[in-house]
């Protein structure tokens, strides 16, 4: 699902109490806002409530006055909320190593307008994909990883993030483990992609390992990073069946396709403000 280009997005979360939906929808009605999309979820286990609404603005819409009134309306419910303006494009920084399939896919989807984002830079610990970045006219940052040089390299990574104003970092097959410190700084705003064969087949050539075990499906998982390797809150997953006729190279090719689709779906959900963190899990309102 993709958002319209002329609608505002209101997202909010709070403890699940009586009147939360009415507090949002009644205010939008009073302001003359036409709600064209609305989802909500009440998590009875965590006690949290999540709301996402898209609406068209009425004539003479005043954002400052709207936000001031909304703040007063939602204050009794302890709601944390965010308002996103129409067609706002999030600044995104991509991180890669040598594999180019996810990078190519994201840049293509940006170019055709499927992912409404501005890629403000590409960071890599290898020089291989610089021509691709230059062809797209995107700033390239080659930050090699030296022995015992992770702290300095990650300091430079954080410097690029701050200088570009990146709001989201996407690890599009960036084959370096981030430190706990950097994971903490990027909490909730960095997405990683990996094959869903983990943790069964770790290390080099996981698809070849999978072939030797005769797997019957391959897949991919996109998740927010945390300091627990490849176990952050999951945003999207994809899976495809395989059988005895699929050789290792077939598994690799199918895996690449699934990784591209799954990562693009996760990035899209984030750009459209459909993802809510709920402890170690996510709520996706779509």
Task: Render pLDDT for 213-272 as a digit per residue (tens, 0 to 9).
Answer: 898 988 999 999 988 766 799 999 999 999 999 999 999 999 999 999 999 999 999 999
Paired tokens of 173: 């097959």
Q: Are 134 and 103 in contact (CB under 8 A)?
A: no
Q: How confident is the model at residue 3 (pLDDT cuts 50, 70, 90)?
A: low
C-alpha distances in Å from residue 284, one per residue of 52, 60, 193: 10, 32, 17
* Domain match, 248 and 279 both: yes
> Among residues 43, 139, 230, 257, which one is catalytic?
230
* Domain match, 167 and 43 both: no
Strand pairing partners for 117?
A: 90
Alpha helix (H) ranges present in 83-125? 101-111
* 208 domain residue, yes or no: yes
Supply the pTM of this predicted model.
0.93
* Domain match, 65 and 174 both: no
| Mean of pLDDT values over 196-206 | 73
* 204 domain residue, yes or no: yes
Burial class (CB in 10 A: 0-12, 13-18, 19+), 85: exposed
- Residue-wise pLDDT tens digits, 93-125: 999 999 999 999 999 999 999 999 999 999 999
* Domain match, 170 and 55 both: no
* Domain match, 110 and 223 both: yes
Whether 230 is catalytic: yes
Residue 80 is part of a domain; what is its CATH number?
3.30.70.260
* Domain match, 55 and 105 both: no
How many structural domains does the chain have?
A: 2
Domain range for 54: 8-84
* Domain match, 166 and 240 both: yes
Residue 271 is part of a domain; what is its CATH number?
3.40.50.170
């Amino acid at each position: 699902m993709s958002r319209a280009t002329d609608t505002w997005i209101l997202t909010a979360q709070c403890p699940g109490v009586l009147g939360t939906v009415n507090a949002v929808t009644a205010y939008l009605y009073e302001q003359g806002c036409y709600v064209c999309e609305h989802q909500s979820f009440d998590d009875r286990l965590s006690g949290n409530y999540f709301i996402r609404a898209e609406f068209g603005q009425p004539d003479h819409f005043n954002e400052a006055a709207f936000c001031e009134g909304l703040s007063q309306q939602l204050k009794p419910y302890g709601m944390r909320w965010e308002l996103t303006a129409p067609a706002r494009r999030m600044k995104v920084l991509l991180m890669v190593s040598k594999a180019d399939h996810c990078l190519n896919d994201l840049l293509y989807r940006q170019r055709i307008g499927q992912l409404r984002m501005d890629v403000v830079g590409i960071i890599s610990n290898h020089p291989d994909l610089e021509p691709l970045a230059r062809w797209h006219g995107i700033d390239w940052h080659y930050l090699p990883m030296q022995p015992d040089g992770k702290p300095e390299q990650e300091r430079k990574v954080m410097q690029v993030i701050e200088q570009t104003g990146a709001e989201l970092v996407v690890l599009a097959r960036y084959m370096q483990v981030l430190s706990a410190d950097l994971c903490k700084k990027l909490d909730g705003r960095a997405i990683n992609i990996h094959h869903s064969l983990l943790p069964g087949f770790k290390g080099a050539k996981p698809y070849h390992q999978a072939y030797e075990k005769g797997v019957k499906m391959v897949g991919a998982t996109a998740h927010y990073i945390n300091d627990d390797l490849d176990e952050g809150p999951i945003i999207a997953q994809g899976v495809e069946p395989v059988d005895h006729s699929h050789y290792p190279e077939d598994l690799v090719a199918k895996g690449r396709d699934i990784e591209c689709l799954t990562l693009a779906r996760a990035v899209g959900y984030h750009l459209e403000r459909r993802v809510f963190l709920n402890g170690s899990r996510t709520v996706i309102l779509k």
